Amino acid sequence: MPKMKTRSAVAKRFSMTGTGKFKRRRKNLRHILEKKPHKVKKRNGKADLVHASDHNSIKRMLPYAAKN
């Protein structure tokens, strides 16, 4: 069976945690930051986990992620 290709765009945006969940960056931190509260900017700077409903589609696009 041939090798499966990894979606390179997905590989740049998501990484797998030790427990098998996918980690992602948050949005809304590029421009127009003056009017956003400090609490929002602080929260958006941290990583977040991918929602469970999207887990299978990302897993399909990253066939060689560490966990099964």
What is the H or E stretch that residue 20 is in?
none
Cα dihedral 28, 18, 66, 57 in deg (nearest 10): -40
Q: What is the pLDDT of residue 15?
A: 95
Complete DSSP assignment for 33-45 = -TTS-HHHHHHHT
- Per-residue confidence in pLDDT tens, the chain, 68 aa: 899 999 999 999 999 999 999 999 999 999 999 999 999 999 999 999 999 999 999 999 999 997 65
Q: Options 3.65.10.10, 2.40.50.140, 1.10.3720.10, 4.10.410.60; which CATH number does 8-61 get?
A: 4.10.410.60
pLDDT at site 67? 63
- Side chain identity at residue 27, one-letter code: K
